[in-house]
């Protein structure tokens, strides 16, 4: 007699199926959905919104057969999407635009898993623009040698820090203003940012600034080319239930097939885990 076929209880991308606590009383799927709903609603601060959402979902859970399964499946998918969020170094230093610009200068044409540890080493030695502006070029080159182009990068890091001290963020940048590094190159028209005048502020740096330092909602206007920024923007739109393309922009509602594919893509192509 052949052995029964067994299936794994979980995989890399899908959590194990719901299993009730066998030591306690059985909990129905409907009750599980109700408990999850109340847990989610606890995060809503507007009591009117919270009460309205609770009434509608409780009505659907009670009156619509199968809604509990749909609700739990959708919630599970959303939780997996949130857990697949691309966490980039730009977000970690978004409260300090100078650090963000230093980070993206190191990340340019360099894998994050290589550049990010070097960035933190630089921040330990030269934690402020004042310190990095006065750094010994030879010492700085030694710290970033493993990234390549150490001489060029060291000069640009020092020049960036000097310029940031002389002329920090401009609250009202001039239209069409470009950095000294990119002014002679052709590039797509972009709205100026408070750091557009600084050396090294190319499209990657400016897109990073808009997304992470541009204030609430600024990310919605950005159409980045960098693949890691594209991953983040796709995730950010998907968290709002919207399908987004780096070439076409907003494409409509994010259905379950799109979300499952995106979750798989985000997990499989994590730049800090893949080799």
What are 164-200's pLDDT values in tens digits? 999 887 664 444 444 434 433 344 456 688 999 999 8
How many helices and strands (H and E) does the chain possess?
Answer: 12, 2
Measured distance CA(100)–CA(46) in Å, rounded: 34
How far from 177 is each of 96, 139, 197, 236, CA to CA, in Å? Answer: 22, 33, 6, 28
Q: Residue 23 — very low, low, confident or very high, per pLDDT cuts 50/70/90?
A: low
- Tell me the pTM: 0.74
| CATH architecture of structural domain 89-222 | Orthogonal Bundle (1.10)
Burial of 243 (C-beta count, 10 Å sphere; 0-12/13-18/19+):
middle
Ranges 46-60, 64-78, 87-101, 211-225: which has the least confidence: 46-60
Query: What average pLDDT does the segment 31-52 reach?
Result: 70
Active-site annotation holds for 226: yes
- Which of 23, 51, 136, 226 is labelled catalytic? 226
* β pairing state of 242-245 and 249-253: antiparallel
Burial of 17 (C-beta count, 10 Å sphere; 0-12/13-18/19+):
exposed
What are 194-226's pLDDT values in tens digits? 999 999 889 999 999 999 999 889 999 999 999
Give the domain ranges of the chain: 89-222, 223-270
Q: What is the mean pLDDT of the chain?
A: 82
What phi and psi, each to the nearest 5 degrees, are found at residue 14? Answer: -125, 130
Instruction: Write out the two tokens for 134.
Output: 């006065």
What integer pLDDT is reported at residue 94 of this predicted model?
A: 96
């Amino acid at each position: 007699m052949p052995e029964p076929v067994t299936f794994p209880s979980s995989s890399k991308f899908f959590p194990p199926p719901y299993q009730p606590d066998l030591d306690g009383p059985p909990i129905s799927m409907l009750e599980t959905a109700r408990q999850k709903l109340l847990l989610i609603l606890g995060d809503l601060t507007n009591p009117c919104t919270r009460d309205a959402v609770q009434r509608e979902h409780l009505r659907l859970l009670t009156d619509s057969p199968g809604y509990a399964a749909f609700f739990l499946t959708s919630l599970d998918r959303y939780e997996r999407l949130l857990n697949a969020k691309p966490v980039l170094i730009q977000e970690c230093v978004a409260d300090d635009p100078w650090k963000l610009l230093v980070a993206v200068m190191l990340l340019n044409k360099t894998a994050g898993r290589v550049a990010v540890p070097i960035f933190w080493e630089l921040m330990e030695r030269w934690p402020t623009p004042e310190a990095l502006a006065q750094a010994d070029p030879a010492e700085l080159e030694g710290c970033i040698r493993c990234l390549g182009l150490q001489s060029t990068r060291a000069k640009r890091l020092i020049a960036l820090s000097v310029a940031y001290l002389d002329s920090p963020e401009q609250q009202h940048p001039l239209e069409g203003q470009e950095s000294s590094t990119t002014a002679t190159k052709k590039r797509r028209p972009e709205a100026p940012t408070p750091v557009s005048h600084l050396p090294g502020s190319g499209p990657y740096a400016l897109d990073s600034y808009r997304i992470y330092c541009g204030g609430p909602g600024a990310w919605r206007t950005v159409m980045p080319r960098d693949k890691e920024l594209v991953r983040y923007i796709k995730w950010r739109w998907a968290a709002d239930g919207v399908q987004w393309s780096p070439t076409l922009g907003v494409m409509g509602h994010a259905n379950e097939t799109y979300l499952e594919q995106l979750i798989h893509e985000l997990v499989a192509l994590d730049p800090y885990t893949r080799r």
